[in-house]
Amino acid sequence: MKTRWLRFGLAAGLAVITTACSLWPGKEETKETPTPTISPVIEVSENYYGSVPPYRQNQTRGMLSRLTPSSYRMDFSHLELGLMEIAQETFSNEDFYFQEGQQIKKEQVTAWLSRAKDDPAGINPDQGPSLLVHVLEHDYLEKETRKLSGIVLGLSLSPVYEDASGQQKKYTVEELRTKGQQIAARIVQTVRAENQQIPMVVALYQVPDRNSTMIPGNFISTGTVNASDSSVSKWQPIDEKYYLFPSTEVEKDQPQISLQFDKLMKQIQSFFQEYVGITGTGRFMGGKMTELTITATAEYDSRTEVLQFTQFAASLINQLIDKDVHVNLYVQSINQPLSIYVRPPEGEPYMHIYRK
């Protein structure tokens, strides 16, 4: 699958492109809204989606904090930005604007997330952990007409289930894909009834384990609903996995890359007298690392120290980490960010030192 990954630059441009904001409570939009006009600050980069004012909040805004139980964890930023990455395969940012989801109402999502015994539209099992955790909608407007021309749905799924004896177990990825596709069939049918002839993309997202505080969830499959179809015409698996550096898991599954990171970490720590805590999160697609995010935590009073540290770490990254891996280096103290270094696979690297 051809994939265009939006990384640090997308995260930095959130305020401009108005990405999904279903995380915080807010007022619902009324149905009567002005005809949108082109925002004067949307063309930030060729990789970004533009937006149209006035800003319209997601119809399911504020639901996540109430619906997320303690049995699993949601990594909202990865879910939202990942949906935008997936959307680019079908809805080019050259031809479409982004808008928060407006088609699915809060009451509909509440019904889907209910247990079948409590609501006729309920999708979740009558007992045990929920399977469907959340439904997130993104809309895409054609630039020429500024009309709704695409919908992307993110279905967040928990792999944890309860067997007949009451024991909690986990679905395999293949089992979760099958379950997710069955759920998607019901949801797509409902959404299609109100949105005829609108192409749709469905992405299945596996939420992370509640104990994996540093590892986000991962997408496991995408499906396409053509404009003339009422169901998903084709499903495509996604082989996405995240590893924590350092960890026994990455040492076992990716020994060579684990050694590279260990060497990087030890050389950085040996260069400076102050203690530097270093962790990393690696993103693997099809078994190959495509992105590495490194967080270095240290207490520096001098900005020249921060500058020297960042330059030294950047030089080691360029020596030890393959050039086709996108690298984000975040240097921080306990209380504040200190510097950023970003090395994309293509183009020039970027470094910034924060000023007090």
What residues does each domain of the chain span? 17-238, 243-353
**Bridge partner list, 280:** 245, 294
**Average of pLDDT values for 185-208?**
95
H or E element at residue 350: strand 350-353
pTM: 0.81
Residue percentage of the chain with pLDDT more than 90: 65
Where does the pLDDT of residue 64 fall: very low under 50, low under 70, confident under 90, or very high at 90 and above?
Answer: low
Q: Does domain 17-238 have CATH number 3.10.570.10?
A: yes
Determine how many CB atoms are found less than 10 A away from the CB of residue 221.
24
Which runs of E-coded beta strand occur in 198-306?
Answer: 200-206, 218-225, 234-237, 240-245, 277-285, 288-297
Nearest to 7 by CA among 306, 325, 354, 335: 325
- Asked if the model's pLDDT at residue 188 lies above 80, the reply is yes
Rounded distance between C-alpha atoms, residue 141 and residue 148, angstroms:
5
CATH number of 243-353: 3.30.300.190
- Asked if the model's pLDDT at residue 313 lies above 90, the reply is yes
**Average of pLDDT values for 301-309?**
88
DSSP calls for 7-44: -HHHHHTHHHHT---TTS--PPPPS--PPP---TT--S
Rounded distance between C-alpha atoms, residue 113 and residue 131, angstroms:
9
- Asked if the model's pLDDT at residue 22 lies above 70, the reply is no
Residue 71 CA from chain centroid, whole number: 20
**Helices marked H in the chain — which ranges?**
8-12, 14-17, 64-67, 76-87, 106-113, 173-194, 248-253, 255-271, 303-320
Q: Are 70 and 129 in contact (CB under 8 A)?
A: no
The pLDDT value recorded for residue 103 is 93
